[in-house]
Structure 1
Amino acid sequence: MIGERLVQKVAGTRGFLKVAPHVVPALDRAVHRLSRGRVLLSAQMLPGVILTSTGARSGRPRRTPLACMPDGDDGWFLVGSNYGRADHPAWTYNLLRHPDAEISWKGRDVPVTARLLAGEERAAVWRELLVFWPPYATYQERVARELRVFRLDRR
């Protein structure tokens, strides 16, 4: 597990957090498109989906590659970490406004409904997320906002 620990350590560094928001999503979208949904580069580090949500303002489809923590076969958790940047990521506003969305999961399109977690439910899931991907703690420490956590359920 040295490789996994190294990736987690690098994912929390300032250099990674400066470059990753610009490079990782663009590479993920390109490789996912070219592989016809079969490959998601960031999924080599941890599970990932391509979220297709409806734009909160535009109403147009928005595709965003995201890390996820699966919950069985019919649920996923997403964290609006935005790589520890100050603002909530746009996809979180999209899900708040239009909770029905779709994910590409392991090459399959899955219709989902998103729900923002709060209170004790969020706290319990947050503890699991920190075990699953420890860099989330670093991202949270760097911002004043509470990172949004969504549960996606298959429709």
Structure 2
Amino acid sequence: MTSSDDIVISPTGWVAEQARLYEESDGTKGTTVMGAPCLLLDYRGRRTAQWRRTVLIYGRDGDDYLIVASNGGAPTHPLWYLNLRDEPDVRLRVGGERFPARAETLSPEEKARVWPGLVELFAPYADYAEKTTRDIPVVRLRRTDTAERD
């Protein structure tokens, strides 16, 4: 695994501050955003291959984690999502645990099934979906080290 020094943290001020708090506390602080649970997502930049980190709200679907590429309802996808499409192998920190995962954008049918629960978890998602013409992707993050845990 890469060290924290090798990871570029989001340039957005509050995200960077929360990511540092989350990491420095070993996942005991900074674990929620507006009352919703959040994780740290480490992903590779599609042009630079540099590891990058952001903080994202997550939901669950069985053992998998779900993240929403809402970008606050902006007309464009968030950069982290564009990177995941090109390089789906990521690393997560959820609370005190860090592990590898693989990202996959949900099909429209899967998204329709999980979307109500995600909106229940974080109500602004409904507003974000209404204010943009783009389809907001939902991404499944599936742990890839399950053989090591069994």
Segment of structure 1 superposing worse, 137-146 or 26-35: 26-35
Gaps spanning 5+ residues in structure 2: where?
1-10, 145-150
Aligned counterparts of 2:69 and 2:48: Cα–Cα separation in 1 = 20
Q: Secondary structure at the match of 2:36?
A: coil
Give, in whole Å, the separation in 2 of the partners of 1:119 and 1:138.
Answer: 19
Residue in structure 1 matched with residue 73 of structure 2 by the alignment:
84
Q: State the identity %.
A: 34
Q: Give the Cα–Cα distance (whole angstroms) in 1 for the partners of residues 94 and 31 of structure 2.
A: 13
Q: Name the structure 1 match of 2:53.
A: 63
CA distance in structure 1 between the aligned counterparts of 2:140 and 2:45, rounded to whole angstroms: 19
Matched with 1:29 is 19
Q: What's the counterpart of residue 32 of structure 2?
A: 42
**Alignment correspondent of 1:10:** none
The alpha carbon displacement at 1:23 in A equals 4.2
The 8 Å contact of residues 27 and 41 in structure 1, kept in 2 or not, is answered as no
Gaps of at least 5 residues in structure 1 are 1-20
The alignment of Structure 1 onto Structure 2 pairs a total of residues equal to 134
Give the TM-score normalised by structure 2.
0.80
1:80-130 Cα shifts (integer Å, max 9, x gaps): 111222221111011111111110011111111111012211111112212
State the TM-score, normalized to the length of structure 1.
Answer: 0.78
> Given residue 143 of structure 2, which amino acid in structure 1 is its aligned partner?
R
Q: Which has the higher strand share?
A: 2
What is residue 130 of structure 1 aligned with on the other side? 119
* SS of structure 1 residue aligned to 2:21: helix
Residue of structure 2 in register with 1:54 after alignment: 44
Deviates more, 1:41-50 or 1:59-68: 41-50
4+ runs deviating over 6 angstroms: none
Greater share of helix residues, 1 or 2?
1
